[in-house]
Amino acid sequence: MRRVSNCIFCAIVRGDAAAARVYEDDDLLAFLDIRPVTRGHTLVIAKPHAERLDDLAADVGSRMFALGHRIALALGRSDLAADGSNLVLNDGPAAFQTVPHIHLHVIPRHHGDRLRFVKGLLLRRGGETDTTAALIRDGLTRMEQP
């Protein structure tokens, strides 16, 4: 698997940097954004290092989206009780990509949260990380139940 030594997300994959993990399998990892716009803001990555869309195999991108889709649904079923979500992928510095390991943002939203969302965009403040990650994992488990 391709990993890059100075990439923070590759360091998270290796376990050399801390992250609040929400989901993991052999190929994909989802963890909380360290500077969340809203509570539960999650990043989905493929484990092998790919910097931009141009470097990402289409089937890997599809699997990233499928996991982002699943996490968005789990946010709604979890006690975070999201009413919706923004799924965003910033491809390249021109599109505000700051971490050069391609990732999909899943940002939970609530009805009437416009002001809180704008404040979150400005402040990007975290907190309750372990509890939040546990709530999302619970939401994923609830999705597996009939």
Assign 97 to helix, strand or coil: coil
**Which CB atom, from 74 or from 133, has the smaller least distance to ligand AMP?**
133
- Distance, in Å, from the CA atom of 72 to the CA atom of 112, rounded to the nearest integer, reads 18
What tokens appear for 51 in the block? 């910097």
What tokens appear for 14 in the block? 């290796």
Q: Which of 39, 41, 47, 101 binds Zn ion (CB under 5 A)?
A: 101
Is 12 an interacting residue with respect to Zn ion (CB under 5 A)?
no
- Distance, in Å, from the CA atom of 130 to the CA atom of 101, rounded to the nearest integer, reads 24
Q: Strand locations in the chain, DSSP E?
A: 21-24, 28-32, 42-46, 84-88, 103-109
Shortest approach of Zn ion to residue 108 CB, angstroms?
25
Residue 103 catalytic?
yes
Active-site residue identified among 41, 49, 101, 103: 103
User: Among Zn ion, ligand AMP, none, what does residue 19 contact (CB within 5–8 Å per kind)?
Assistant: ligand AMP
**Which CB atom, from 98 or from 145, has the smaller least distance to ligand AMP?**
98
Is 39 an interacting residue with respect to Zn ion (CB under 5 A)?
no
Give the interface with Zn ion as residue ranges (CB under 5 A).
4, 7, 9-10, 49, 101
